[in-house]
């Protein structure tokens, strides 16, 4: 595990000396801030209106602000995450540093975990920005913290599974742009699959919808912890990392 941490640290270092970390942090800070602002402004206008009309409709911060913002962030993350994972192996292959890694006394699994973990930690840093936005809601209002926490767990798991799949894609090519493009396409497909049940409720549609990564996030954002969704994300992560391991192994045989 010491090796995993060594590799993870080096990856984090590379993120922060390249523009990619700063660009993503900026994008997340900006979009997260805007979503929170827009949702809160709408919420304030709505509650003023209902007060003036004499309605005492219970306005719920969780339902009206936090859930929509989290869902938006989930979709954005889906499309920005390939940018985090694209360089993990593609860059090593291009530079030839992969030869250093695989001829060092470390196991393939340690290399893979270290790299994936660095991307996951980087994603965690992005989520902290959203959490910072939400802190204002806690200062000026009193939302229920449990669904918020669960929402973040869901976001985190969703990101971790996308990153695992994109890590695998990164082992397939030397070109970061190609890795990002394929990752992006995959994210798009996984997103679109959730629409399968919109007009069709046949068995096939339900299976497709189940595979979609976003459909599992909904329950998290509503504050419901369903073991089914939890297991879905964990198996997705396992699947992605497993493919990465096989791909790395086959690279050695073919190289």
> Applying CB under 8 A, which residues contact another protein?
2-3, 6-7, 10, 13-14, 17-18, 95-107, 252-253, 255
**Torsion over CA: 59, 62, 66, 67 (sign):** negative
- Tell the smallest beta-carbon distance from residue 95 to another protein (Å): 7
Q: How many residues does the chain have?
A: 255
Report the alpha-carbon distance of residue 239 to residue 130 in Å, rounded: 28
The candidate with the shortest Cα–Cα distance to 190, out of 164, 171, 208, is 208
Please count the other Cβ atoms lying within 10 Å of the Cβ belonging to residue 137. 20
- Tell the smallest beta-carbon distance from residue 101 to another protein (Å): 8
User: Nearer Cβ to another protein, position 58 or 96?
Assistant: 96
DSSP assignments along 89-121, one per residue? HHHHHHHTTHHHHHTSS--HHHHHHHHHHHHHH
49 backbone φψ class: left, alpha, beta (φ>0; ψ -120 to 50): alpha
User: Nearer Cβ to another protein, position 10 or 64?
Assistant: 10
User: Nearer Cβ to another protein, position 23 or 225?
Assistant: 23
Phi, psi for residue 16 in degrees, rounded to 5: -85, -15
- Tell the smallest beta-carbon distance from residue 89 to another protein (Å): 14
User: Nearer Cβ to another protein, position 212 or 244?
Assistant: 244
- Tell the smallest beta-carbon distance from residue 15 to another protein (Å): 10
User: Nearer Cβ to another protein, position 2 or 228?
Assistant: 2
- Tell the smallest beta-carbon distance from residue 8 to another protein (Å): 11
């Amino acid at each position: 595990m010491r090796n995993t941490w060594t590799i993870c640290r080096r990856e984090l270092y590379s993120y922060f000396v390249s523009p990619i970390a700063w660009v993503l942090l900026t994008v997340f800070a900006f979009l997260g801030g805007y979503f929170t602002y827009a949702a809160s402004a709408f919420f304030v206008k709505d509650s003023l209106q209902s007060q003036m009309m004499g309605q005492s409709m219970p306005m719920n911060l969780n339902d009206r602000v936090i859930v929509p913002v989290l869902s938006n962030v989930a979709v954005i993350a889906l499309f920005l995450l390939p940018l985090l994972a694209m360089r993990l192996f593609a860059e090593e292959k291009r530079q030839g540093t992969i030869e250093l890694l695989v001829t060092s006394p470390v196991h393939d699994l340690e290399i893979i975990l270290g790299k994936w973990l660095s991307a996951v930690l980087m994603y965690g840093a992005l989520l902290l920005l959203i959490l910072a936005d939400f802190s204002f809601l806690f200062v000026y209002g009193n939302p229920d913290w449990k669904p918020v926490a669960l929402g973040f767990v869901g976001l985190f798991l969703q990101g971790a599974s996308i990153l695992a799949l994109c890590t695998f894609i990164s082992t397939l090519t030397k070109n970061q742009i190609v890795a990002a493009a394929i990752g992006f396409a995959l994210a798009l497909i996984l997103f679109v699959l959730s629409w399968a049940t919109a007009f069709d409720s046949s068995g096939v549609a339900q299976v497709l919808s189940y595979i979609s990564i976003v459909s599992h996030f909904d329950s998290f954002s509503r504050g419901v912890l369903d073991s089914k969704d939890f297991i879905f994300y964990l198996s997705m992560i396992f699947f992605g990392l497993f493919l990465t391991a096989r791909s790395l192994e086959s690279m050695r045989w073919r190289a």
